[in-house]
Structure 1
Amino acid sequence: MSIFGTDGVRGRAGEGLLAADSVAKISSALASVLQERENFSSDVDSARGQAVYIGRDTRASGPDLLAQLSGGLLGAGFDVCDLGVLPTPGIAEVARSAGECCLAIVLSASHNPAEDNGIKLLSSSGAKVSDRFEDELSARFSEGVPPAEPGSSGVRDLSGEASRLYAEYLVSCCPDGLDGLKVCIDAANGAASGIAAEVFLRLGAEVRAIGDQPDGRNINLGCGALYPGALAAEVRESGFDIGFCFDGDADRMIPVSGTGGIFDGDLVLALGGRHYQAEGKLPGKAVVGTVMSNIGLARSLEDAGISLIRTQVGDRNVFKEMVAGGHPVGGEQSGHIIFRDHSSTGDGILAAIKLLQFLQGYEMNLDRGAEIMTAYPQVLKNVRVRDKVELETVEPVREIVADVEQRLGAEGRVLLRYSGTEPLLRVMLEGPEQQLVDQLCDDICGVVEDSLGDR
């Protein structure tokens, strides 16, 4: 059984798989897999050194988790390097560019509350490790790997150098600068605190920041990408040009217009697809999204002669499709945006910089840029279920879905999928009118509750 969920090992810090003894077992199992790197050439470049880079977000549990995870690696002869507090994409970029680094580890629970934490593994290329690597590590964790003797060396501090390298990389992605632009940011009291403002200041923008005072307990607390309303009010009242909300590990970004309009990753993809095509950099004439991408995105791209390729939810699935098809632009409605010519993972700060480049043709006005896409009303509801049975075998559910799809026709969409971590069925509907979508979603949820509900 895999110890990995949809985005690494995740849970309440200090409990379950993140209890101290379990983390020590993960460390020993990871070290044993890395010692056989020749069997995982897609994850660990054979020419790389013996250093494992570990970075984290601002959660209070991060330093203890770092110490617990380092033991088995140090004992097995690996050089553990602490990158300090750094966005997930920053950890990926620093690891990718360092010849000594064979693997990177992100300690973060992303947009989850401060009480949670997680362990995410990145290959030497900066991308997430393969399913095969995770499966092998899970198997060795379950079997138990004898812990190595404590190492004689300690953890090497690379935090200052890592932050400098990542900031320089981001600045280099915007050669024309942002002189005179007024930018508000919400760092979610997370990993973007400090570094996001520094980057925009270095690019010449005037910057105002909120959610940039982390105390270990306030990450994502009423701020950041999940709560963009606070930044929308700040941008509107301050008269600034644009705002960007990041999440706890800064791998996603939600943009806010000068009038306080809140948008999402679908608009970034719509603008990005057009920009890349105009530059002759969209060889497959396609953008990669997910099953959650709004119909409005598909219609907007179609108007520009661009296809939308949908994958299952998760930036790992998006990236796989981007690599397989040679597509440079992809991402999720939630704000995970990947530009393959720059990075192998979602990068919130980079996405903000790229969006500003896309808006040059719209007088740097996000509201004007947003006119290229009309988002359809979308509703997502969860129904707690007793069993995750094949939905095609449940006749009442199959019939209600067919009825709703027939009623919506080409102007709507129905998607039912089980949660990967909870006993929930997610019911998503899109359609031309909010009231209609809400009613039809309630109709489906009612039938699901009667047929599969946990009550």
Structure 2
Amino acid sequence: MKYFGTDGFRGEANVNLNVVHAYKVGRFLGWYYGREHKARIIIGKDTRRSSYMFEDALSSGLTASGADVYLLHVTPTPSVSYVVRTEDFDCGIMISASHNPYYDNGLKVINGKGHKLEAEIEEKIEAYIDSPEDTLPMATREKIGCTVDYAIGRHRYIGYLMSLATRSFKNIRVGLDCANGSSYSVAKGVFDALGAKTYAIGMEPNGININDGCGSTHIENLQKFVKENNLDVGFAYDGDADRCLAVDDKGEVIDGDAILYLCGCYLKEKGELNNNTIVTTVMSNLGLYKALERADIAYEQTAVGDKYVNANMMENGHSLGGEQSGHIIFSKYAVTGDGVLTSLMLMEVMLEKKAKLSELRKDLKVYPQLLKNVRVADKPAAREDKDVQAAVKKVADELGDEGRILLRESGTEPVIRVMVEAGTDELCKKYVDEVVSVLYAKGHGIK
């Protein structure tokens, strides 16, 4: 695909994603979903300065094609998915570049079932964007669409989140890092309403400080905040709040793998872990797999990307899956990763088990991990090189059951990723360097 990647159409605002692109995306979606009835399409956005510009451009294109547009304003990505599937919208659009810097932005289109848009429709949008002539009809007279303030949709999503809590959070000291992003409009209100003593940072968005030294991509900020304020737990979200990482009472990070382990064990005890299986990606830590084996929980692996995790869960009926980065999907409650929902599920585990996260995660030993990116001219040629493959096999044989090596192509860059997990940091470096040196020796690596 030329424009759409694994997470929608993303790029630097007004450089490789501009207002004309957004207008044309709106024009196509308004026409496509309005062929048999008047389309109803919802838009949410994060706090980037350019999000307002793209919201206007999308609205212009959609209404020009005859669609009615409902504006959720600043809201988490999962809220768009929730509102689309529960209130009978044709599709939704989230304006966000997630954890990227403020100058990037993106258009994530969500279908009527709350999932990411089908690839075949994305291909049609791309063809329309690149067509020299605008072949789509313009709506006229009473068929022209309108825009509607739909903040009520976000409020319903907040109500839904609150309804999922099984216990009061009274007297629990909770820290939140909202990344100066979408969750600032939702998360603290939810925790306050549920009775927590909530201490929040990353709550002052100004259009250019989203993810800037805060949120799940800068978890050290929350670690320090939790320890300094003697909090029981902390949760950090990314820019559009579809990810969550946690910090335990000792200031240690609870990443996506640890969240899968804690929630998986809890759901198994309750008899709610469908098929006794958790869906992970190939980047999950070896320590997670060993801990799951000890807990007698099965697992499946997918390619990196929450859309692959979600596809596996849908196909097989699994109830829990996610990524090390904090994209966690609870299929009973949502069809996408939802950062605030994930934090509520972790709160339930803590409260029901009457234990702190530091105690609950003690059986999970995380293996040291090292990842190096090698810039290459030809990704398949580098990965399939016989000498490179031999080097990878040699490392795998030497590691045995006490580590692993992964060689994979980046989905978005001209890069081969070499990842090793082993008993020590020194071993990780030794084995990564062995494979990287072969990539350069064979002429694949670009300095």
What's the TM-score once normalised by structure 2's chain length?
0.95
3-state SS of paired residue (2:366): coil
- The amino acid of 1:217's aligned partner reads I
Structure-1 residue corresponding to 2:68: 79
The answer to whether the aligner puts 1:130 opposite 2:129 as a matched pair is: no
Any residues of structure 2 matched to 1:146-161 within 5 Å, and which?
146=135, 148-149=137-138, 152-159=144-151, 161=152
Structure-2 residue corresponding to 1:70: 59
The answer to whether the aligner puts 1:140 opposite 2:128 as a matched pair is: yes
Structure-2 residue corresponding to 1:42: none
Shift of 1:153: 4.6
Shift of 1:36: 5.0
Match of 2:328 among 327, 333, 337: 337
- Check conservation: 1:319, 1:338, Cα contact below 8 A: yes
**Cα gap change, 1:165 to 1:294, in 2 (>3 Å):** same
3-state SS of paired residue (2:82): helix
- Deviation track 1:90-143 (CA, whole Å, cap 9, x = no partner) reads 1111222113x1100000000000000000011112111222222232233333
3-state SS of paired residue (2:412): coil
- Check conservation: 2:233, 2:249, Cα contact below 8 A: yes
- Check conservation: 1:106, 1:121, Cα contact below 8 A: yes
- Check conservation: 1:2, 1:134, Cα contact below 8 A: no
The answer to whether the aligner puts 1:90 opposite 2:79 as a matched pair is: yes
Any residues of structure 2 matched to 1:159-178 within 5 Å, and which?
159=151, 161-178=152-169
- The amino acid of 2:411's aligned partner reads G
- Check conservation: 1:56, 1:87, Cα contact below 8 A: yes
The answer to whether the aligner puts 1:115 opposite 2:103 as a matched pair is: yes
Structure 1 unaligned blocks of 5 or more: 38-47
Match of 1:286 among 277, 282, 299: 277
Structure-2 residue corresponding to 1:25: 24
Structure-2 residue corresponding to 1:40: none
3-state SS of paired residue (1:284): helix
3-state SS of paired residue (1:309): strand
**Cα gap change, 1:261 to 1:435, in 2 (>3 Å):** same
1:315 and 1:174 map into 2 onto residues whose CA distance is 24
Shift of 1:294: 0.8
The alignment yields a C-alpha RMSD, in angstroms, of 1.7
> Percent identity over the alignment?
38
Match of 1:297 among 267, 282, 288: 288
Shift of 1:442: 1.8
- Check conservation: 1:193, 1:212, Cα contact below 8 A: yes
- Deviation track 1:375-431 (CA, whole Å, cap 9, x = no partner) reads 111111111111222445412211211111111011111111111111111111111
The answer to whether the aligner puts 1:445 opposite 2:436 as a matched pair is: yes
What's the TM-score once normalised by structure 1's chain length?
0.93
- Check conservation: 1:72, 1:147, Cα contact below 8 A: no
The answer to whether the aligner puts 1:55 opposite 2:16 as a matched pair is: no
**Which 4+ residue blocks in structure 1 deviate beyond 4 angstroms?**
150-153
1:320 and 1:153 map into 2 onto residues whose CA distance is 34
1:392 and 1:248 map into 2 onto residues whose CA distance is 33
- Deviation track 1:225-280 (CA, whole Å, cap 9, x = no partner) reads 01011111111111110000100000000100111111200011111111111111
1:148 and 1:298 map into 2 onto residues whose CA distance is 54
Structure 2 unaligned blocks of 5 or more: none
1:450 and 1:177 map into 2 onto residues whose CA distance is 60
1:96 and 1:372 map into 2 onto residues whose CA distance is 38
2:279 and 2:158 map into 1 onto residues whose CA distance is 27
- Check conservation: 1:72, 1:148, Cα contact below 8 A: no
2:365 and 2:23 map into 1 onto residues whose CA distance is 50
3-state SS of paired residue (1:193): helix
Structure-2 residue corresponding to 1:43: none
